[in-house]
Structure 1
Amino acid sequence: MPDDLLKTVLLPLALILLMVGMGMSLTVADFRRVLFAPKATLVGVFLQLVMLPVLAFGLVYLFKLPGELAVGLMLVAACPGGPTSNLISHLSKGDTALSVTLTAVSSVVTVFTIPLVVGFAMERFMAGEAAIELPFGKTLVQLMVVTVIPIAVGMWIHAARPGFSQRMSKPVNVMSMVFLALIIIAAVLKEKDLGAQIAAVGPAVVVLNLGGMVLGFVAAGLMGLVKAQRIAISIEVGIQNGTLALAIALGLLESAGLAVPAVVYSLFMFVSGAVMIGWFGRGKTTVP
């Protein structure tokens, strides 16, 4: 399969389908809920969009990651949550409504913050290397096309045809994720020294994932939020949309090396998610 077709057509198409499926599970109320639970939402958004990239920045130095892997880790930290975090939050008896709201809000806000975070990371960690161009305006438009607009289309479908949306949301998500996984595997497997890169970035990815969860749970507790909210925020901060990170690395930035941290992250988050479900899923929580 030609690389140009894979990166410029198939990969964005798969991501758009995934975002439409995600939008079909959202409503305007998920955004309006911010007005009714501003404290929990603001805490979650701040931890996810500010503190997680700060944590990733520190891990780059702690684990002495080389340029592409460093930027790839920052890209993962800059991404929003996704449908996976909502499902894990629900099964862990977290505040599912808060989880969905955080995903909805962060999916919109990160369209503006991802270019800033990744641009900063490239300037900081890839100086002297074959730097990858990341023009802010172009990247912003591309992210709008593959995330915000498809989510809005999915929400419109949900509002206009709720029965159809409920029937098709899951099949669309499954189909697009399988499609996306096959494309990503085809692209990443071409990367040289893939095993060595995974070994190098693996520990940092694990600490980012688990550290984000601990950060979310502890900080939310210090802010006086109830257990269900702490669980939801912990999962939203700890489990990012690795699929989006992969698509940006391969489709927008056209770098398989930048995608390696997202590949490892996307696999490990199911392990940590299963632990959260096993730990909290059997308990009783109170949703405000």
Structure 2
Amino acid sequence: MLQRIGHFASKTFLVWVLLVSIIAFTAPHLFTGVGDIIPYLLGVVMLGMGLTIKVSDFKLIFKYPKPVITGVVLQYTIMPLLAYLIVKAFQLPPDIAIGVLLVGCCPGGTTSNVMSYIAKANVALSVTITSISTILAPVLTPGFMYLFAREWMDVSFMSMFASVTKVVLVPILIGLLVQRFFKTFSEKSEDVLPLVSVIAISIILGAVVAGSRELIIQTGLLIFTVVIAHNVLGYATGYFLANVLKLNYPDKKAVSIEVGMQNSALATSLATVHFNPLAAVPGAVFSLVHCITGPILARYWAKRAEHVERSKRSIA
């Protein structure tokens, strides 16, 4: 039963995100005080990731280093650079600029693994890139923010390093330890983890939308334009460079999805802790946008794969 509920929650993730966003926007009082627990909710999501990461996820880097290294490098170069160029091109106000840069400097999100599965991409590669980029986040996310964001606002590398470590690395390590010493509990928890993650991410998004309602009304069109451009250019540039580097087709799809889909919940959490409320809005909007564009792109690729398979069968 729990497994079925978990699968249902994953498949209908977009529905819950949209529903919670609408509720938060129309009745923001329902989320009063929830913003204070965003880092803890993100910690729960990361704990779930730690409980599902397998040692085999990291073996892929030794068997097939090129696609893994390509994915991780593109993840941490394309999105920060795109964010910086978009911020400059649109001449964004400092708070929005910081929020967009935060999204760009974060690792990939776990939703990308589901999208890779739907797209018939290399799921193992997707999981490996997500895992490695997330573990590197405590150093690389504050490092890139310090590099790119100082033009708009003071950024403390050590303060952000401590935050990312607490809400990302520590929960993942706890999850890995639970896997190691409480294997039965870990295996049973896998059935309910998708549901817990969907609930936690939806609440995070709802809290940010509720807390930033007036700011979204004032700047909504601008932020949506910027976020959509960032997201779509991430997919396109990731695929293009993976093609230039001559990765195979399933790997190109996985890299494209990994690059385009960010851990926007982490960006939202960091924005609420270190910057002004408006800085959290791009992360919230990105959560919504990539949950729409991701399935569209994944289903397009899935249909193409099915068409190729049918063509091969008809020829045979």
Question: Structure 1 20/72 Cα, relative in aligned 2: closer, same or farther at 3 Å?
Answer: same
| Deviation string, structure 1 residues 194-233 (Cα, Å, up to 9, x no partner) | 2122211211111111111111111111111100000000
Task: Answer whether contact 1:72 1:262 (CA < 8 A) is retained.
Answer: yes
Q: Equivalent residue for 2:60?
A: 33
Task: Answer whether contact 1:27 1:159 (CA < 8 A) is retained.
Answer: no
Q: Equivalent residue for 2:274?
A: 253
1:1-288 equivalences in 2 (<5 Å) = 6-7=34-35, 10-126=37-153, 134-191=155-212, 192-250=214-272, 252-282=273-303, 283=305
Task: Answer whether contact 2:107 2:262 (CA < 8 A) is retained.
Answer: yes
Q: Name the aligned partner's letter for residue 120 of structure 1.
A: L
Of all paired residues, the percent bearing the same amino acid is: 29
Alignment partner of 1:281: what SS? helix
- Count of matched residue positions in the alignment of Structure 1 and Structure 2: 277
Task: Answer whether contact 1:25 1:169 (CA < 8 A) is retained.
Answer: yes
Question: Structure 1 279/188 Cα, relative in aligned 2: closer, same or farther at 3 Å?
Answer: closer
Tell me which protein shows more helix as a share of its residues: 2
Q: Name the aligned partner's letter for residue 275 of structure 1.
A: I
TM-score by length of 1: 0.88
**Cα drift, residue 261 of structure 1:** 0.7
Question: Structure 1 215/112 Cα, relative in aligned 2: closer, same or farther at 3 Å?
Answer: same
Q: Name the aligned partner's letter for residue 217 of structure 1.
A: Y
Is the deviation greater in 162-171 or in 220-229? 162-171
CA distance in 2, matches of 1:83, 1:166: 18
**Cα drift, residue 149 of structure 1:** 1.6
TM-score by length of 2: 0.80
Q: Equivalent residue for 2:13?
A: none
Structure 2 stretches of 5 or more lacking a match? 1-28, 310-316
| Deviation string, structure 1 residues 117-142 (Cα, Å, up to 9, x no partner) | 2233432124xxxxxx5322232122
**Cα drift, residue 58 of structure 1:** 0.8
CA distance in 2, matches of 1:187, 1:280: 32
